[in-house]
């Protein structure tokens, strides 16, 4: 028994593989293109583990996918592979269309052929699990009910539009070809190994470097926050017991404005790694021009997965954010390695014209 994970060197994918091999002995094949956010250092602890194998490649490479499926005969494919940063999608939407839509299509075509060639018992056991985001649902007004699985899709960025398109493809392959597909839509993840373009690691890394903490607009954009290990546990549960053709929303029951997140990080850093001058890191907060089309509020109703599959997050935001800050404080070498020239160039490109 083996599973194939695509995008397994990214933030959520690498956490999933680490958690998977801690929870069970079933081998993992990891396929990752190793773009800027793919980092094999995340998985350094698995070097030499006979249950783990890595292959560098693109989900758009049909020949490679076909060879991996034929050789390793996985009983499940979990697709994390995606371009996933809204700001980058605004600057360059083409990469998002190519990876999230065309890449998913190519992966589905390979998996469809692989599934069709199985015997009855193999088809009964096989699953294709597609990992998505709550951003496909668009923006919620204040006081509106949280996103349920039946909420209409209203993507507002090139990123979320490309993810919504990939979801429609997965749904079509289930209904047209009988592919036993499962879809999960998660809220904002945070935790170890997250590339510091996202809010939480960006604030931690910039604070420690003595740089400004850029907050978009008034900072009152609301998100639901999900600790990454909770997300990984939910995916395992959906893979084990989810009904093919179904969508499961995965959230942390933690709706908070971005500014509150930044202030929580500041408070923890003031406690755990005080500045040498005795001042608070809060003095580094800088309000900058908002990004175009910034969704005001996301919120996940994770009631379905709790009712049907018995999953609920183990971490509160208070416990999860403390674990996250401590991890970054304990891994300065990891931070130094990801803050490369390319990363610095991206920060300059995205934030240079946002001064207010």
Quick one: pLDDT at residue 345?
59
Q: Is 154 a catalytic residue?
A: no
List, in order, residues 6 or more apart from 201 with CB less than 8 Å away: 190, 194, 195, 328
Which structural domain, as residue segments, surrounds residue 95? 3-191+224-253+297-314
Q: Is 153 part of the annotated catalytic residue set? A: no
> Is 296 in a helix, a strand, or coil?
coil
Residue 104 lies in a domain: yes
Report, as ranges of residue numbers, the positions in the chain whose pLDDT lies below 50: 343, 346-347, 351, 354-356
The total number of structural domains that make up the chain: 1
Question: Which pLDDT belongs to residue 356?
Answer: 47
Q: Choose the catalytic residue: 58, 83, 135, 315.
A: 135
Residue 91, pLDDT score: 78
Helix %, strand %, coil % of the chain (to 5) = 50, 15, 35
The catalytic position among 134, 224, 255, 315 is 134
**Residue 100 belongs to a domain:** yes
Q: What is the pLDDT of residue 92?
A: 81
Phi, psi of 251 (to 5 degrees): -135, 170
Interatomic CA distance for residues 254 and 204, integer angstroms? 20
137 part of the active site: no
**The pLDDT value given to residue 265:** 98
Does 214 fall in a domain? Answer: no
No. of helices (H) and no. of strands (E), the chain: 14, 12
CA nearest to 166, candidates 177, 153, 151: 153
Q: What is the pLDDT of residue 348?
A: 58
Query: Is 208 within the bounds of a domain?
Result: no
- In a domain? residue 327: no
Question: Is 354 within the bounds of a domain?
Answer: no
- Round to whole Å and give the CA distance between 226 and 313: 8
55-88 pLDDT tens trace: 999 999 999 999 999 999 999 999 999 886 667 7
Is residue 272 domain-resident?
A: no
Q: Does 259 map to a domain? A: no
pTM: 0.93
User: Which of 137, 159, 193, 248 is the catalytic position?
Assistant: 159
Q: What is the pLDDT of residue 118?
A: 98
**How far is Cα 38 from Cα 46, in angstroms, rounded to an integer?**
16
CATH for 163: 3.40.50.720
* DSSP secondary structure letters along 90-123: HH-HHHHIIIIIIIHHHHHHHHHHHHHTS-HHHH
């Amino acid at each position: 028994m083996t599973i194939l994970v695509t995008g397994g060197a990214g933030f959520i994918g690498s956490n999933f593989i680490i958690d998977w091999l801690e929870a069970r002995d079933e081998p993992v094949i990891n396929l990752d293109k190793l773009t800027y956010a793919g980092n094999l250092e995340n998985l350094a602890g698995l070097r030499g583990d006979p249950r783990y194998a890595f292959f560098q490649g693109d989900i758009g490479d049909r020949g490679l996918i076909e060879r991996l499926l034929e050789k390793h005969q996985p009983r499940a494919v979990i697709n994390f592979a995606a371009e996933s940063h809204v700001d980058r999608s605004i600057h360059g939407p083409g990469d998002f269309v190519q990876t999230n839509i065309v890449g998913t299509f190519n992966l589905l075509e390979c998996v469809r052929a692989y599934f069709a060639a199985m015997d009855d018992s193999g088809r009964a056991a096989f699953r294709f699990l597609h990992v998505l985001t709550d951003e496909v649902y668009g923006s919620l007004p204040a006081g509106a009910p949280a996103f349920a699985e039946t909420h209409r899709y209203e993507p507002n960025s090139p990123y979320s539009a490309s993810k919504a398109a990939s979801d429609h493809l997965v749904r079509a392959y289930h209904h047209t070809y009988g592919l036993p597909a499962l879809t999960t839509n998660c809220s904002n993840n945070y935790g170890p190994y997250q590339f510091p373009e996202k809010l939480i690691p960006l604030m931690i890394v910039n604070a420690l470097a003595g740089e400004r903490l850029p907050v978009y607009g008034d900072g009152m954009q609301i998100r639901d926050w999900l600790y990454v290990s909770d997300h990984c546990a939910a995916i395992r549960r959906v893979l084990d017991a989810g009904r093919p053709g179904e969508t499961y929303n995965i959230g942390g029951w933690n709706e908070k404005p971005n500014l509150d997140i930044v202030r929580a990080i500041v408070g923890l850093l003031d406690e755990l790694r005080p500045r040498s001058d005795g001042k608070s890191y809060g003095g580094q907060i800088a309000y900058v021009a908002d990004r175009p089309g910034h969704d005001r509020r996301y919120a996940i109703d994770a009631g379905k997965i709790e009712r049907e599959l018995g999953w609920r997050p183990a971490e509160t935001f208070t416990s999860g954010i403390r674990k996250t800050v401590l991890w970054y404080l304990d891994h300065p070498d990891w931070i130094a390695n990801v803050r490369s020239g390319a990363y610095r160039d991206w920060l300059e490109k995205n934030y240079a014209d946002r001064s207010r």
